[in-house]
Amino acid sequence: MKKSSPVSRSGRFSGGPAADVAQFTESISFDQRLWRQDIQGSLAHAKMLHKIGLLTAEEHRDISQGLEKIRAAIEAGTFDWKQELEDVHMNIEAELTHRVGAGAKLHTGRSRNDQVALDLRLWVRDERLALLNDIQVLQKSLLDFAEREADVIIPGYTHLQRAQPVYFAHHLLAYVEMLERDAQRLRDSKERGNVCPLGAGALAGSTLPLDRESVAKELGFVDASDEAKLAQNSMDAVSDRDFVVEFCSDGALLGVHLSRLAEDLILWASTEFNFIKIGDAYTTGSSLMPQKKNPDVAELMRGKSARVIGNLVSVLTLLKGLPMTYNRDLQEDKEALFDTADNLRATLRVCAAMLNHTSANRTVCATAASDPALLATDLADYLVRKGMAFRQAHHAVGSLVALAEKSGKRLNQLTVAELQSVEKRFEADALELFDLGKAMKARSIIGAPGTKEVKEQLARWRKALGK
Ligand code: ARG
């Protein structure tokens, strides 16, 4: 990195900052990635400056062409980023001014404070779309998996104890639902974040007649009827990072959902459960134990949620004590934000790929699902249908479970006489409840894991998500 005099220090200072200060305060090492948004914002700002007569047509043309050339250099990897120029904004502006005389006019009516607020809003807007796309890719993988294993039944669990039977697909679709709410939250927050801060200047606007509406429209900060959406308070505009918090918060909850999915996959892949087989390419071995096949991908999915949650807490903590308005602390918002986006997107993609290489161990699932104790509640429901209060029915079936346990039988091996010894209302047809196929058909209300209902949910999601 070459030495040159930082643009922000002209005049007031006798020289550049000390080397350790430059190193401590720089953000170019991580905010470089805002270059697209920075150039996009500068192009719009220059266009407006020309519109209001503060740039001649020639100056506007020179600035625009200069910015396009810088864009090409960055894309080609030949741009010389300089640490002593602190951040992406000063690097680009200094290079523009070096190339084009009129570059020195670009910062008219603008501060890095409204500039960085703008760049970050644009970045979040772009990144949100990419994240939404990755969420949908995972939803499709879950749906594909659910369809491949559509007839597989497993025990559903509460307290990690076998509870009631569910279709494997029903379990997977629970995550499709969670991901849908995550996507919805991201879409909801777009509206609040889609507000143009340009014109706020350092904190107090400008004495120049800036046309804020035209810049906002140029940058797509508009409402449903194409009206410009402008930050209405300059002090709020430069210091607000609500949209970063919202992205990190939406992301943290998404991370939690991915972590729960990971936990299920890890349990299912264990020898104890053995419900699924993850393709070799998506597992790792042990350096010591030759027999091991470890679900590291799923474990890292679970692990990465920790940092994503941490990023949310970092940003909230960063903001909570800041006096109005801009403070350099705000520079610390970026790494947390980028880290959340990067890790979630990587997790979503690798998880989708892993699920495409995962299958259910059908025999093991069938054996587990055939545990008749899973249908104890169905027996209680039987008694309810015969007019018994549920609490009493629950008690009666509890006694049956105890009786079966005492006589070393499974619940479905009890005789009708034994059932009747506990409760007279039991008849021979009670034992038919243990037919798992029938039992699954009987769960026929909306949201239940019934045979028809799960099929309908699969079809609904297929229609919503497409092929
Ligand atoms: N790199 C800074 C940030 O990310 C840009 C804004 C700097 N503004 C200032 N007045 N020092 O927050």
Q: What is the residue-wise DSSP string for 104-153? A: GGTTTT--HHHHHHHHHHHHHHHHHHHHHHHHHHHHHHHHHHHHHTTT-E
Query: Which pLDDT belongs to residue 16?
Result: 82
The CATH number covering residue 84 comes to: 1.10.275.10
Cα(331) to centroid of ligand 1, in Å? Answer: 6
What percent of the chain stands above pLDDT 70? 98
- Per-residue pLDDT, averaged over 230-239, amounts to 98
Domain range for residue 404? 370-464
Rounded to whole angstroms, the Cα distance separating 176 from 178 reads 6
Of 42, 76, 108, the one marking the end of a domain is: 108
Quickly state the pLDDT bin for 3 (edges 50, 70, 90): very low
Is the predicted pLDDT of residue 47 greater than 60, yes or no? yes
pLDDT the model gives residue 7: 61
- Please state, rounded to an integer, the average pLDDT across all residues of the chain: 96
Residue 24 has pLDDT above 90, yes or no: yes
CA pair distance 40, 220, nearest whole angstrom: 11
Residues acting as catalytic residues:
159, 286
Is 3 domain-assigned? Answer: no
Q: Are 333 and 241 in contact (CB under 8 A)?
A: yes
Which of 86, 108, 130 terminates a domain? The answer is 108
Cβ–Cβ < 8 Å for 397, 425: no
Least confident of 7-16, 193-202, 226-235, 425-434: 7-16
| Position 252 in a domain | yes
Q: Are residues 86 and 158 in the same domain?
A: no
Is the distance from CB of 322 to CB of 330 less than 8 angstroms? Answer: yes
Average pLDDT over residues 16-26: 91
Q: What local confidence, expressed as pLDDT, does residue 2 receive?
A: 41
How many Å lie between the centroid of ligand 1 and the Cα of residue 113? Answer: 6
Q: In 3D, which of 135, 118, 289 has the Cα closest to residue 216?
A: 118
152 in a domain, yes or no? yes
Q: What is the pLDDT of residue 8?
A: 61
Based on the structure, what is the number of domains in the chain? Answer: 3
Is 203 part of any domain? yes
Task: Check residue 11 and give its pLDDT.
Answer: 79
Q: Do both 135 and 272 map to the same domain?
A: yes
Domain end position, chosen among 53, 83, 108: 108
Residues 102 and 59 in one domain: yes
- Counting from 1 in the atom list of ligand 1, the atom nearest the Cα of 89 is 5
Q: Ligand 1 pocket: which residues have CB below 6 Å?
A: 27, 31, 87, 112-113, 116, 326, 328, 330-331
Q: Are residues 222 and 194 in the same domain?
A: yes
Question: pLDDT digit string (tens) for 362-417?
Answer: 999 999 999 999 999 999 999 999 999 999 999 999 999 999 999 999 999 999 99
Give pLDDT, residue 12: 82
CATH code of residue 158: 1.20.200.10
Are 120 and 29 found together in one domain?
A: no
Report how far ligand 1's centroid is from the alpha carbon of 9 (Å): 13
- H helices, E strands: number in the chain: 18, 4
Q: For a pocket test of ligand 1, which of 26, 113, 241, 327 has the largest count of ligand atoms closer than 8 A to its C-beta?
A: 113
Rounded distance from Cα 90 to ligand 1 centre (Å): 10
pLDDT tens-digit map of 86-144:
999 999 999 999 999 999 999 999 999 999 999 999 999 999 999 999 999 999 999 99
Q: Which pLDDT value is given to residue 290?
A: 86
Q: Does 350 share its domain with 381?
A: no
pLDDT greater than 90 at residue 29: yes
My answer on whether 289 and 167 are in the same domain is: yes
> Phi then psi for 429, rounded to 5 degrees?
-65, -15
255 with 150, same domain? yes
Place of tokens 């741009």: 79
Question: Would 255 be classed as within a structural domain?
Answer: yes
221 found inside a domain? yes
Mean pLDDT of 271-288: 94
What is the share, in percent, of the chain residues with pLDDT greater than 90?
Answer: 94
Q: How far is CA 407 from CA 8, 274, 403, in A?
A: 86, 29, 6
Residues 387 and 354 in one domain: no
* Domain-embedded: residue 95: yes
CB atoms within 10 A of CB 161: 8
Which H/E stretch holds residue 192? helix 168-193
Neighbours of 459 (CB within 10 A): 11
Question: Are residues 93 and 131 located together in one domain of the fold?
Answer: no
**Same domain, residue pair 351 and 377:** no
**Residue closest to 396 by CA, chosen among 372, 377, 374:** 377
CATH of the domain at 456: 1.10.40.30
Asked whether the predicted pLDDT for residue 440 surpasses 60, the reply is yes
Encoded amino acid at 181, one letter: R
- Lookup: tokens for 289: 């134990």
Look at ligand 1, atom 12, and give the residue with the nearest C-alpha.
Answer: 331
93 lies in the same domain as 130: no
In whole angstroms, what is the distance from residue 170 CA to residue 247 CA? 29
Rounded average pLDDT over 267-276: 98
- Give the closest residue (by CA) to ligand 1 atom 3: 331
Identify whether 11 is part of a domain.
no
**What atom of ligand 1 comes closest to residue 202's alpha carbon?**
10
CA distance linking residue 154 with residue 171, whole number of Å: 9
8 Å CB contact between 276 and 360: yes
